[in-house]
Amino acid sequence: MEEQNEVLTELEKAGRIEIKQNVSLLNMAGLRTGGTARALVFPLDTEACARAAEACGEKLAVLGFGSNVLVCDGVIEVPLLSTSRLTGCRELDENGKFAVQAGVGLTKFALKAAQAGFSGAEFMYGIPGSMGGASVMNAGAYGHQLDEIALKFTVCDRKGKVYSVDAADAGLSYRHSRFQESGEIVLETVLRLTPCDSGTVTDLMNSLMKRRKEKQPLEYPSCGSYFKRPEGQFAGKLIEDCGLKGLTKGGAQVSEKHAGFIINRGGATASDVEKLEDEIKRTVKERFGVELEREVRKLGAHGFEK
């Protein structure tokens, strides 16, 4: 621990990085669970981010907006890097090519693109994550996902080396990218949108948001769909057909509005959520023979579960 503190002190001294110690993570992740981070590292630019990666190596855990993260109870011992200050967004040409840094919010970007008269990012509207998180998760909604518009990613490895990865080499598939295993940190994503009438795009985004509000329990903390969609099925439908809507463990509950969502009804711990997850998986397996796979990423004391 002393060694970690020394590394972080040196890092902060080098500049363009803010570090906060012993921070409660309760309000920093989708389900509002979890304990305290020993250290939260905020690089102010991509160079500083690469320096942090080099200094902390494999130990460093990366947090976007935390909207797809279940933070475990207790203390997160490894340093946590927040991309929230990497908020640059550049238009690379006049035809809809954008370079978007990891900490740009998806809803904000979708709005910006629509206002500038470009289509392709509408599906991002209403997803409460960052561009970095969406790149790592290959986020998607309403029949579209990031891999349709991603051209390339600027990433850094855990030695601080910065390089470019073509979208075709990023292992993008349903809610998956190679970055989930490689430990590469996404600094910037280059996207190709297409010119379109601004009003048409805005109308579409508003109708998608209306659908979200009607179907999803947005009034409670959650990580969105907790499980991935099994091949040819919907996790929410399987869970509902098992009669599990409303099932409760402590403060965690299977949403009555959308059975694919686990919500925090108040005071849920990560352990409550895990108990609910186990029971859902067991019941769905017994009833339908389907193994549900968690989409949500678990952050434990020593980093993310692979």
Contacting residues toward ligand FAD, per CB under 6 A: 30, 62-69, 83, 102, 127-130, 132-134, 136-137, 139-141, 179, 185-186, 216, 218, 222-224, 297, 304
Q: Which of 84, 225, 229, 274 is catalytic?
A: 225
Q: Shortest approach of ligand FAD to residue 34 CB, angstroms? A: 12
Q: Shortest approach of ligand FAD to residue 95 CB, angstroms? A: 25
Residue closer to ligand FAD, measured from CB, 23 or 285: 23
Q: Which of 175, 192, 229, 297 is catalytic?
A: 175
Residue closer to ligand FAD, measured from CB, 83 or 269: 83
Give yes or no: 305 in active site: no
Q: Shortest approach of ligand FAD to residue 303 CB, angstroms? A: 9
Residue closer to ligand FAD, measured from CB, 27 or 95: 27
Three-state SS for the chain is CHHHHHHHHHHHHCCCEEEEEEEECCCCCCCCCCCEEEEEEEECCHHHHHHHHHHHHHHCEEECCCCCEEECCCEECCCEEECCCCCCEEECCCCCEEEEECCCEHHHHHHHHHHCCEECCHHHCCCCCEHHHHHHHCCEECCEEHHHCEEEEEEECCCCCEEEEEHHHCCCECCECCHHHHCCEEEEEEEECEECCHHHHHHHHHHHHHHHHHHCCCCCCEEEECECCCCCCCHHHHHHHCCCCCCEECCEEECCCCCCEEEECCCCCHHHHHHHHHHHHHHHHHHHCCCCCECCEEEECCEECC
Give yes or no: 58 in active site: no
Residue closer to ligand FAD, measured from CB, 139 or 280: 139
Q: Shortest approach of ligand FAD to residue 193 CB, angstroms? A: 18
Q: Shortest approach of ligand FAD to residue 218 CB, angstroms? A: 6
Question: Which residues pair with residue 195 across a beta bridge?
Answer: 118
Which among 46, 32, 228, 9 is positioned nearest to 132, based on CA atoms? 46
Give yes or no: 295 in active site: yes
Residue closer to ligand FAD, measured from CB, 218 or 280: 218
Active-site positions read 175, 225, 295
